[in-house]
Amino acid sequence: MTELDYSRLISILTNPPKVSYPVILPDFFLDHFVLVPKFEDFIEDLGKLARQGGGNLMGSEQFIRRGNDLFTQINIDIVTAILGGSKVSSKITVIENILDKVDHLIIGGGMSFTFIKAQGGNIGNSICEDDKMDLALSILKQAKEKGVKVHLPVDVIAADDFSNDANTQVVDIYHIPDGWEGLDSGPKTNIGFSFVIAQSKTILWNGPVGVFEMKSFSKGTIELGNAVADATADGAFSLVGGGDSVAAVKQFGFAKKVSYVSTGGGAMLEMLEGKTLPGIQAILD
Protein backbone atom coordinates (compact mmCIF):
# COMPACT_ATOMS: atom_id res chain seq x y z
CA MET A 1 0.00 0.00 0.00
CA THR A 2 1.38 3.38 -0.98
CA GLU A 3 1.75 6.38 1.32
CA LEU A 4 -1.08 8.02 -0.63
CA ASP A 5 -3.33 5.03 0.00
CA TYR A 6 -2.57 5.18 3.71
CA SER A 7 -3.43 8.87 3.70
CA ARG A 8 -6.72 8.26 1.94
CA LEU A 9 -7.67 5.46 4.31
CA ILE A 10 -6.78 7.51 7.37
CA SER A 11 -8.91 10.31 5.96
CA ILE A 12 -11.86 7.94 5.70
CA LEU A 13 -11.35 6.60 9.22
CA THR A 14 -10.89 10.05 10.72
CA ASN A 15 -13.84 11.59 8.90
CA PRO A 16 -16.26 8.76 8.20
CA PRO A 17 -18.93 9.77 5.67
CA LYS A 18 -22.48 10.08 6.95
CA VAL A 19 -24.11 7.47 4.76
CA SER A 20 -26.66 4.72 5.19
CA TYR A 21 -25.68 1.07 5.24
CA PRO A 22 -24.21 -0.69 3.41
CA VAL A 23 -20.94 1.28 3.47
CA ILE A 24 -19.00 0.93 0.21
CA LEU A 25 -15.25 1.40 0.67
CA PRO A 26 -12.98 2.72 -2.10
CA ASP A 27 -11.56 0.24 -4.57
CA PHE A 28 -7.99 0.64 -3.31
CA PHE A 29 -9.04 -0.56 0.14
CA LEU A 30 -11.06 -3.50 -1.16
CA ASP A 31 -8.22 -4.49 -3.47
CA HIS A 32 -5.78 -4.65 -0.58
CA PHE A 33 -8.34 -6.35 1.63
CA VAL A 34 -8.65 -9.20 -0.84
CA LEU A 35 -5.17 -9.41 -2.35
CA VAL A 36 -2.54 -8.57 0.29
CA PRO A 37 -1.02 -11.92 1.39
CA LYS A 38 -0.75 -10.83 5.01
CA PHE A 39 -3.56 -8.34 5.40
CA GLU A 40 -3.23 -8.69 9.18
CA ASP A 41 0.14 -6.93 8.92
CA PHE A 42 -1.48 -3.98 7.18
CA ILE A 43 -4.24 -3.78 9.79
CA GLU A 44 -1.73 -3.94 12.65
CA ASP A 45 0.32 -1.21 10.99
CA LEU A 46 -2.80 0.88 10.61
CA GLY A 47 -3.63 0.45 14.28
CA LYS A 48 -0.11 1.44 15.34
CA LEU A 49 -0.19 4.37 12.94
CA ALA A 50 -3.43 5.55 14.47
CA ARG A 51 -2.01 5.34 18.01
CA GLN A 52 1.30 7.00 17.16
CA GLY A 53 -0.03 9.71 14.89
CA GLY A 54 -0.94 12.35 17.47
CA GLY A 55 -3.83 14.74 17.16
CA ASN A 56 -4.47 14.46 13.43
CA LEU A 57 -4.83 10.68 13.59
CA MET A 58 -6.48 10.38 16.98
CA GLY A 59 -9.86 10.41 15.28
CA SER A 60 -9.00 7.23 13.41
CA GLU A 61 -8.25 5.37 16.64
CA GLN A 62 -11.51 6.60 18.13
CA PHE A 63 -13.36 5.58 14.98
CA ILE A 64 -11.89 2.08 15.06
CA ARG A 65 -12.73 1.78 18.76
CA ARG A 66 -16.31 2.87 18.01
CA GLY A 67 -16.48 0.27 15.27
CA ASN A 68 -15.22 -2.41 17.64
CA ASP A 69 -17.73 -1.35 20.30
CA LEU A 70 -20.52 -1.48 17.72
CA PHE A 71 -19.54 -4.95 16.54
CA THR A 72 -19.26 -6.14 20.12
CA GLN A 73 -22.71 -4.78 20.82
CA ILE A 74 -24.08 -6.49 17.74
CA ASN A 75 -22.41 -9.70 18.86
CA ILE A 76 -24.09 -9.35 22.25
CA ASP A 77 -27.47 -8.11 21.10
CA ILE A 78 -28.11 -10.49 18.21
CA VAL A 79 -31.73 -11.57 18.28
CA THR A 80 -31.70 -14.03 15.38
CA ALA A 81 -28.74 -15.88 13.92
CA ILE A 82 -29.11 -17.75 10.64
CA LEU A 83 -26.50 -20.44 10.04
CA GLY A 84 -26.43 -22.45 6.84
CA GLY A 85 -23.92 -24.21 4.67
CA SER A 86 -22.98 -27.86 4.51
CA LYS A 87 -21.07 -28.67 7.69
CA VAL A 88 -21.79 -28.38 11.39
CA SER A 89 -18.10 -28.93 12.15
CA SER A 90 -17.06 -25.65 10.51
CA LYS A 91 -19.30 -23.64 12.84
CA ILE A 92 -19.15 -25.47 16.15
CA THR A 93 -17.34 -22.69 18.01
CA VAL A 94 -19.58 -20.03 16.48
CA ILE A 95 -22.74 -21.83 17.59
CA GLU A 96 -21.43 -22.42 21.11
CA ASN A 97 -20.38 -18.77 21.45
CA ILE A 98 -23.58 -17.19 20.19
CA LEU A 99 -25.98 -19.36 22.20
CA ASP A 100 -25.56 -16.92 25.09
CA LYS A 101 -26.42 -13.98 22.85
CA VAL A 102 -29.36 -14.93 20.64
CA ASP A 103 -33.04 -15.51 21.08
CA HIS A 104 -33.52 -17.49 17.88
CA LEU A 105 -31.15 -19.75 15.97
CA ILE A 106 -32.16 -20.75 12.45
CA ILE A 107 -30.23 -23.74 11.12
CA GLY A 108 -30.58 -24.52 7.44
CA GLY A 109 -28.71 -25.89 4.47
CA GLY A 110 -26.78 -29.15 4.45
CA MET A 111 -25.79 -28.87 8.09
CA SER A 112 -29.42 -29.25 9.16
CA PHE A 113 -29.48 -32.91 8.07
CA THR A 114 -26.98 -33.83 10.78
CA PHE A 115 -29.45 -32.47 13.36
CA ILE A 116 -32.39 -34.24 11.72
CA LYS A 117 -30.67 -37.63 11.49
CA ALA A 118 -29.44 -37.28 15.07
CA GLN A 119 -33.09 -37.04 16.13
CA GLY A 120 -34.05 -40.18 14.24
CA GLY A 121 -35.07 -38.70 10.91
CA ASN A 122 -34.67 -40.48 7.58
CA ILE A 123 -32.63 -38.11 5.39
CA GLY A 124 -32.17 -40.36 2.35
CA ASN A 125 -28.95 -39.51 0.52
CA SER A 126 -28.66 -36.02 2.01
CA ILE A 127 -25.30 -34.79 3.22
CA CYS A 128 -24.60 -35.63 6.86
CA GLU A 129 -21.69 -35.66 9.29
CA ASP A 130 -22.44 -38.85 11.16
CA ASP A 131 -19.57 -38.27 13.58
CA LYS A 132 -21.12 -34.94 14.62
CA MET A 133 -24.59 -36.21 15.50
CA ASP A 134 -23.84 -36.36 19.23
CA LEU A 135 -22.57 -32.81 18.97
CA ALA A 136 -25.77 -31.76 17.23
CA LEU A 137 -27.84 -33.20 20.06
CA SER A 138 -25.60 -31.45 22.57
CA ILE A 139 -26.14 -28.13 20.80
CA LEU A 140 -29.91 -28.61 20.89
CA LYS A 141 -29.71 -29.43 24.59
CA GLN A 142 -27.56 -26.38 25.33
CA ALA A 143 -29.92 -24.15 23.38
CA LYS A 144 -32.92 -25.41 25.32
CA GLU A 145 -31.15 -24.85 28.63
CA LYS A 146 -30.27 -21.28 27.60
CA GLY A 147 -33.77 -20.50 26.37
CA VAL A 148 -32.75 -20.24 22.73
CA LYS A 149 -35.37 -21.31 20.21
CA VAL A 150 -33.80 -23.43 17.47
CA HIS A 151 -35.59 -23.49 14.12
CA LEU A 152 -34.80 -26.40 11.82
CA PRO A 153 -36.36 -27.00 8.39
CA VAL A 154 -39.62 -28.96 8.36
CA ASP A 155 -39.68 -29.72 4.65
CA VAL A 156 -37.21 -29.73 1.77
CA ILE A 157 -36.97 -29.79 -1.99
CA ALA A 158 -35.57 -33.27 -2.55
CA ALA A 159 -33.88 -34.38 -5.77
CA ASP A 160 -32.97 -37.76 -7.21
CA ASP A 161 -29.64 -36.40 -8.44
CA PHE A 162 -27.27 -33.55 -7.60
CA SER A 163 -28.20 -31.68 -10.78
CA ASN A 164 -30.21 -28.65 -11.78
CA ASP A 165 -32.23 -30.93 -14.10
CA ALA A 166 -32.97 -33.60 -11.51
CA ASN A 167 -36.48 -34.75 -10.67
CA THR A 168 -37.72 -33.00 -7.53
CA GLN A 169 -40.42 -33.30 -4.91
CA VAL A 170 -41.36 -31.53 -1.69
CA VAL A 171 -41.06 -33.87 1.28
CA ASP A 172 -41.08 -33.81 5.06
CA ILE A 173 -37.46 -33.41 6.16
CA TYR A 174 -37.79 -36.33 8.57
CA HIS A 175 -39.02 -38.64 5.79
CA ILE A 176 -36.80 -38.15 2.75
CA PRO A 177 -37.03 -41.25 0.53
CA ASP A 178 -33.98 -43.41 -0.02
CA GLY A 179 -32.14 -42.37 -3.16
CA TRP A 180 -33.25 -38.73 -2.77
CA GLU A 181 -31.37 -35.84 -1.17
CA GLY A 182 -32.49 -32.49 0.20
CA LEU A 183 -31.04 -29.62 -1.82
CA ASP A 184 -33.20 -26.66 -0.78
CA SER A 185 -35.57 -25.61 1.98
CA GLY A 186 -39.24 -26.30 1.31
CA PRO A 187 -42.22 -23.90 1.20
CA LYS A 188 -43.35 -24.50 4.81
CA THR A 189 -39.81 -23.96 6.03
CA ASN A 190 -39.49 -20.73 4.07
CA ILE A 191 -42.67 -19.38 5.63
CA GLY A 192 -41.56 -20.37 9.12
CA PHE A 193 -38.09 -18.86 8.76
CA SER A 194 -39.54 -15.65 7.31
CA PHE A 195 -41.93 -15.34 10.26
CA VAL A 196 -39.07 -15.52 12.75
CA ILE A 197 -36.97 -13.03 10.80
CA ALA A 198 -39.87 -10.58 10.55
CA GLN A 199 -39.95 -10.33 14.35
CA SER A 200 -36.21 -9.79 14.68
CA LYS A 201 -34.44 -6.51 15.36
CA THR A 202 -30.90 -7.74 14.81
CA ILE A 203 -30.06 -10.45 12.28
CA LEU A 204 -26.84 -12.29 11.58
CA TRP A 205 -26.81 -14.38 8.41
CA ASN A 206 -23.99 -16.79 7.63
CA GLY A 207 -24.56 -19.51 5.07
CA PRO A 208 -27.22 -20.35 2.44
CA VAL A 209 -30.13 -22.73 3.04
CA GLY A 210 -29.86 -24.53 -0.28
CA VAL A 211 -27.67 -25.16 -3.30
CA PHE A 212 -28.43 -21.68 -4.60
CA GLU A 213 -25.85 -21.94 -7.37
CA MET A 214 -28.38 -24.14 -9.20
CA LYS A 215 -31.56 -22.31 -10.14
CA SER A 216 -33.80 -25.23 -9.23
CA PHE A 217 -32.58 -25.05 -5.64
CA SER A 218 -32.19 -21.31 -5.13
CA LYS A 219 -35.69 -20.39 -3.95
CA GLY A 220 -35.04 -21.01 -0.26
CA THR A 221 -32.04 -18.70 -0.17
CA ILE A 222 -33.93 -16.09 -2.20
CA GLU A 223 -36.90 -16.25 0.18
CA LEU A 224 -34.52 -15.92 3.11
CA GLY A 225 -32.91 -12.89 1.48
CA ASN A 226 -36.30 -11.30 0.90
CA ALA A 227 -37.21 -11.82 4.55
CA VAL A 228 -33.96 -10.27 5.78
CA ALA A 229 -34.35 -7.35 3.35
CA ASP A 230 -37.93 -6.73 4.49
CA ALA A 231 -36.93 -6.82 8.15
CA THR A 232 -34.10 -4.39 7.42
CA ALA A 233 -36.52 -2.03 5.68
CA ASP A 234 -38.66 -2.17 8.84
CA GLY A 235 -35.73 -1.06 11.01
CA ALA A 236 -33.78 -4.22 11.86
CA PHE A 237 -30.00 -4.30 11.63
CA SER A 238 -28.83 -7.11 9.36
CA LEU A 239 -25.27 -8.37 9.03
CA VAL A 240 -24.43 -10.82 6.25
CA GLY A 241 -21.05 -12.55 6.18
CA GLY A 242 -19.30 -15.60 4.83
CA GLY A 243 -18.26 -16.36 1.28
CA ASP A 244 -21.38 -18.22 0.15
CA SER A 245 -23.72 -15.75 1.87
CA VAL A 246 -21.99 -12.77 0.29
CA ALA A 247 -22.10 -14.44 -3.12
CA ALA A 248 -25.82 -15.11 -2.67
CA VAL A 249 -26.79 -11.58 -1.63
CA LYS A 250 -24.82 -10.18 -4.54
CA GLN A 251 -26.21 -12.67 -7.04
CA PHE A 252 -29.83 -12.04 -6.06
CA GLY A 253 -29.60 -8.28 -5.56
CA PHE A 254 -29.80 -8.05 -1.77
CA ALA A 255 -26.45 -6.35 -1.14
CA LYS A 256 -28.02 -2.88 -0.95
CA LYS A 257 -31.05 -4.10 0.98
CA VAL A 258 -29.25 -5.26 4.11
CA SER A 259 -27.43 -3.18 6.68
CA TYR A 260 -23.93 -4.50 6.16
CA VAL A 261 -22.18 -7.13 4.05
CA SER A 262 -18.93 -8.39 5.53
CA THR A 263 -16.51 -9.51 2.84
CA GLY A 264 -14.14 -10.76 5.54
CA GLY A 265 -16.14 -13.91 6.18
CA GLY A 266 -13.33 -15.69 8.01
CA ALA A 267 -12.65 -12.64 10.16
CA MET A 268 -16.33 -12.28 10.99
CA LEU A 269 -16.56 -15.91 12.06
CA GLU A 270 -13.47 -15.49 14.24
CA MET A 271 -15.09 -12.48 15.91
CA LEU A 272 -18.26 -14.49 16.50
CA GLU A 273 -16.13 -17.27 17.95
CA GLY A 274 -14.99 -14.77 20.57
CA LYS A 275 -11.50 -14.19 19.18
CA THR A 276 -9.84 -10.76 19.13
CA LEU A 277 -8.81 -9.77 15.61
CA PRO A 278 -5.26 -8.47 14.94
CA GLY A 279 -6.35 -4.99 13.90
CA ILE A 280 -8.54 -4.56 16.97
CA GLN A 281 -5.79 -5.89 19.23
CA ALA A 282 -3.29 -3.41 17.77
CA ILE A 283 -5.65 -0.57 18.68
CA LEU A 284 -6.46 -1.84 22.16
CA ASP A 285 -2.86 -2.69 23.21
Query: Measuring CA to CA, how many Å separate 94 from each of 99, 117, 122, 139, 178?
Result: 9, 21, 27, 11, 32
Domains and CATH numbers, the chain: 3-74+277-284 (no CATH), 78-254 (3.40.50.1260)
Contact (CB, 8 A) for 189 and 220: yes
Indicate yes or no: pTM above 0.95: no
Strand partners, 172: 155
Per-residue pLDDT of the chain (285 residues; tens, 9 = 90+): 444 444 444 444 444 444 333 333 334 333 333 333 334 444 454 455 444 444 343 344 444 444 444 444 444 455 799 999 888 887 777 888 888 888 999 999 999 999 999 999 999 999 999 999 999 999 999 999 999 999 999 999 999 999 999 999 999 999 999 999 999 999 999 999 999 999 899 999 988 999 999 999 999 999 999 999 999 999 899 989 876 888 899 999 999 999 988 876 566 666 666 666 666 676 666
Task: State residue 79's pLDDT score.
Answer: 77
Contacts of 265 (CB under 8 A, 6+ apart): 206, 241, 242, 243, 245, 246
pLDDT at 132: 93
What pLDDT was estimated at residue 39? Answer: 40
Question: What is the DSSP pairing of strand 181-185 with strand 155-159?
Answer: antiparallel
Q: Tell me the C-alpha to C-alpha distance, in Å, between residue 239 and each of 113, 178, 268, 274.
A: 25, 37, 10, 17
